[in-house]
């Protein structure tokens, strides 16, 4: 069995590309493979040769992979004008993909399916593509590029699964009283049983994974350290046959999302991440956002309990592109959202930020164009 494992990732949605180039050269009334270099089809025939780019990169979207991580490929040529009947072609070695295939001259539709073998030794469809109007000429030479895309979770049927994985570095000091992860399907509200993150420790890190039905999930963390509970929410996209990984480092005061994300994608085309763009009021008037200051995702905003030293006692966070979202929710120290607010004020008098330390503020946006959930976050530091 092969598992897609992370090679890189950042929290902005990452694209992963896999280029399948079909070279149509000439052809046969059946399928014959031969040497890959300097191939000449039989007289009166044509042939097709497939070339795959080796790179696939993904953002808790699926992890980075390449063409060798797919365990099986199926190619189906269907004649639409003249041509000949062709049985499905199956490869279990990606090195065979460039083998020339003889075809009867005519016009064809080509469907390409790519599979990954799961833990149960069964094959799950992970990517597909279809191209119409492929013309095979007798002795001819035609080039055709085909883009293969990941199977969208929205089109999944019952029983299709993917993997959610996590690698979390616990703090070097203090006592972790408890650490749990709860995964809830967005839309249906179906909640998985809470996971004790501390159960599996690999080289000093909380590291494990869980098989999930494909779809979109809230990932809610509840960490109690030195008797103080901190909760925060992230969003994970689970694709068929693929692994989506969260990687965190837990400092002495808070979790920092280092990498992890959603990007599946013969060209392997990844999903987009439409994270809300945040700004905040840095002039201390606590009124309008004047001047607007763009926030880098995950940046730290410092509030002072006394307001001295030029530090803010409150700040107004605003979704700059709020018009692009049908719903906006804010989360801080709770999984209960503040619904449909384009702005959110943090201040040391609110109770949420009345003690010193670091806190995450998460903003979730339901993107109007695709009705999917995306998020950004900032860290609030409260000082004396």
Domain segments of the chain as ranges:
19-57+65-151, 274-384
In sequence order, the 6+-apart residues with CB closer than 8 A to the CB of 322 are 276, 328, 342
Tell whether the model's pLDDT for residue 260 goes beyond 80. Answer: no
Task: Give per-residue pLDDT as tens, 166-223.
Answer: 998 887 777 889 999 999 998 788 999 999 999 998 998 999 999 999 988 888 888 8
Q: Is 69 strand, coil or helix? A: helix
- Better-predicted residue by pLDDT, 289 or 353: 353
b/e code 7-35 from CB counts within 10 Å (16+ = b): eebebebbbbbbbbbbbbbbbbeebbeee
Arithmetic mean of pLDDT, 149-156: 70
Q: Identify which has the larger pLDDT, 334 or 118.
A: 334
Which pLDDT value is given to residue 351? 78
Highest mean pLDDT among 217-231, 272-286, 364-378: 364-378
- The answer, yes or no, to whether residue 103 has pLDDT greater than 90, is no
According to the model, what pLDDT value does residue 165 have?
93
Q: From CA 92, how far away is CA 90, in angstroms rounded?
A: 7
pLDDT(253) > 60: no
pLDDT confidence of 115, banded at 50, 70, 90? confident
- Looking at domain 274-384, its CATH superfamily turns out to be Immunoglobulins (2.60.40.10)
CB atoms within 10 A of CB 187: 11
What pLDDT was estimated at residue 282?
Answer: 65
Specify whether the CB–CB gap between 62 and 162 falls below 8 A: yes
Residue 34 has pLDDT above 60, yes or no: no
Residue 274 has pLDDT above 90, yes or no: no
Tell which wins on pLDDT, 288 or 12: 288
Of 20-29, 61-70, 230-239, 273-282, the range with the lowest mean pLDDT is 20-29
pLDDT, average across residues 261-271: 49
**Which has more confidence, 93 or 311?**
93
pLDDT at 152 over 90: no
Token digits for 68?
A: 């060798």
Omega cis (within 30) before 291:
yes
**Rounded mean pLDDT of the chain?**
74
Domains 19-57+65-151 and 274-384 share a fold: yes
Is 67 within 8 Å of 39 (Cβ atoms)?
Answer: no
Q: How far apart are CA 45 and CA 257, in angstroms?
A: 56
Q: Does the pLDDT of residue 142 top 90, yes or no?
A: no
- 277-313 tens-digit pLDDT: 888 876 555 444 455 678 888 888 888 887 666 667 8
So what's the pLDDT on residue 21? Answer: 31
Smallest Cα–Cα separation from 340: which of 326, 328, 324?
328
- The DSSP secondary structure of 44-96, one letter per residue, reads T-EEEEEEE-SEE----BBPPEEGGG--EEEEEEEEEEE----PPEEESSGGG
In the predicted structure, residue 332 carries a pLDDT above the cut 70: yes
pLDDT mean over 319-341: 90
Nearest to 364 by CA among 274, 243, 262: 274
What is the pTM (predicted TM-score) of this model?
0.48
Query: Which of 45-59, 115-129, 195-209 comes out lowest in average pLDDT?
Result: 45-59
Q: Is the pLDDT of residue 342 over 80?
A: yes
pLDDT category of residue 124 using cuts at 50, 70 and 90: confident
Q: Which residues pair with 182 in a beta bridge?
A: 220
Q: The tokens 């001819």 sit on which residue? A: 140
Distance between CA atoms of residues 166 and 207, nearest Å? 6
Fold of 19-57+65-151: Immunoglobulin-like (2.60.40)
Distances (CA, A) of 259 to 11, 32, 62, 276, 359: 6, 46, 12, 18, 19
């Amino acid at each position: 069995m092969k598992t897609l494992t992370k090679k890189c990732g950042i929290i902005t949605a990452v694209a992963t590309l896999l280029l399948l180039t079909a070279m149509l050269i000439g052809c046969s009334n059946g399928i014959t493979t031969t040497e890959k270099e300097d191939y000449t089809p039989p007289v009166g025939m044509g042939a097709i040769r497939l070339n795959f780019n080796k790179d696939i990169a993904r953002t808790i979207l699926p992890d980075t992979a390449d063409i060798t991580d797919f365990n099986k490929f199926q190619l189906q040529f269907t004649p639409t004008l003249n041509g000949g009947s062709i049985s499905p072609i199956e490869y279990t070695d990606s090195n065979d993909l460039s083998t020339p295939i003889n075809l009867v001259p005519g016009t064809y539709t080509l469907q390409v399916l790519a599979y990954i073998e799961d833990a149960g030794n069964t094959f799950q469809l992970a990517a597909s593509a279809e191209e119409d109007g492929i013309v095979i000429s007798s002795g001819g030479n035609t080039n055709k590029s085909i883009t293969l895309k990941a199977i969208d979770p929205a089109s999944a049927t019952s029983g299709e699964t993917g993997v959610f994985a996590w690698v979390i570095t616990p703090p070097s000091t203090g006592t972790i009283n408890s650490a749990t992860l709860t995964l809830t399907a967005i839309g249906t509200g179906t909640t998985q049983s809470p996971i004790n993150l501390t159960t599996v420790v690999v080289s000093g890190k909380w590291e494990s994974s869980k098989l999930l039905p494909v779809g979109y999930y809230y990932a809610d963390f509840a960490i109690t350290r030195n008797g103080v509970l901190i909760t925060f929410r992230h969003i994970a996209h689970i694709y068929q046959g693929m692994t989506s990984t969260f990687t965190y480092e837990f400092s002495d005061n808070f979790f920092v999302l280092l990498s992890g994300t959603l990007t599946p994608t013969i060209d392997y085309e990844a999903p987009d991440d439409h994270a809300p763009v945040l700004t905040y009021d840095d002039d201390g008037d606590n009124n309008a956002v004047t001047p607007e200051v763009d926030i880098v995702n995950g940046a730290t905003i410092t509030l002072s309990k006394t307001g001295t030293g030029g530090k803010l006692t409150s700040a107004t966070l605003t979704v700059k592109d709020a018009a692009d979202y049908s719903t906006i929710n804010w989360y801080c120290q709770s999984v209960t959202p503040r619904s449909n607010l384009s702005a959110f004020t943090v201040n040391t008098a609110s109770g949420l930020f009345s003690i010193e330390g670091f806190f995450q503020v998460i903003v979730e946006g339901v993107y109007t164009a695709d009705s999917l959930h995306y998020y950004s976050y900032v860290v609030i530091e409260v000082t004396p």
